[in-house]
């Protein structure tokens, strides 16, 4: 899987990493049980600090997306992904709300917005990247 980082984004690198791995899982490119690169190899591959990779993996583990085994390495959670928890629903709404509010201000009508979301949903499912 190819990781693309934007070093001048305002998003922390570990967040970009998490997003890309989650998107890889969403698209099916990474399947449950599949190995992820070790902290060390990934760090050297993409040229970032070990701590950064570690932080991303640790957070992904906390949220249930991956498992970290001391010796065996890192795998996409073979027991499947976390479900729809109340905490998740709240976080999702908190994130979505300001974006939707801005869309309303900018006169994006509801149908248009839903169409944008739907189209992104399909893109991700089919593994289409932002730059594609």
Residues 6+ apart with CB under 8 A from 131: 4
Binding test (CB under 8 A) with a copy of itself, winner from 29, 35, 45, 102: 102
Binding test (CB under 8 A) with a copy of itself, winner from 25, 36, 39, 42: 25
**Which of a copy of itself, DNA, none lies near 41, with the C-beta cut-off 5 to 8 A by kind?**
DNA
Closer of 40 and 112 to a copy of itself (Cβ): 112
By CB under 8 A, tell whether 104 contacts a copy of itself. Answer: yes
Report which of 99, 100, 14 is spatially closest to residue 63, judged by C-alpha positions: 14
CB of 91 to a copy of itself, least distance (A): 9
- As a whole number of angstroms, the distance between CA 72 and CA 2 comes to 22
Enter the tokens of residue 132. Answer: 């594609």
Residue pair 32/76 in contact by the 8 Å Cβ criterion: yes
One DSSP character per residue, 98-113 reads HHHHHHHHTT--HHHH
By CB under 8 A, tell whether 125 contacts a copy of itself. Answer: yes
Closer of 6 and 111 to DNA (Cβ): 6
Exposed, middle or buried by CB within 10 Å (0-12, 13-18, 19+), for 54?
Answer: middle
CB of 28 to a copy of itself, least distance (A): 9
Q: What are the residues binding a copy of itself (CB under 8 A)? A: 7-8, 10, 12, 19, 22-23, 25-27, 62, 65, 67-70, 72, 81-84, 88, 92-108, 110, 113-114, 116-118, 120-122, 124-125, 130
């Amino acid at each position: 899987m190819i990781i693309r980082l934007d070093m001048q984004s305002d998003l922390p690198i570990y967040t970009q990493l998490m997003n890309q791995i989650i998107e890889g899982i969403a698209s099916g490119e990474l399947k449950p049980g599949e190995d992820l690169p070790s902290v060390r190899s990934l760090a050297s591959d993409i040229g970032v600090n070990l701590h950064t990779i570690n932080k991303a993996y640790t957070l992904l583990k906390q949220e249930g997306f991956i498992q970290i085994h001391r010796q065996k390495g890192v795998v996409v959670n073979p027991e499947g992904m976390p479900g729809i928890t109340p905490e998740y629903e709240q976080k999702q709404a908190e994130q979505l709300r300001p974006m939707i509010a801005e869309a309303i201000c900018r006169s994006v009508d509801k149908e248009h917005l839903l169409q944008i979301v739907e189209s992104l949903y399909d893109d991700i499912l089919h593994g289409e990247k932002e730059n594609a």
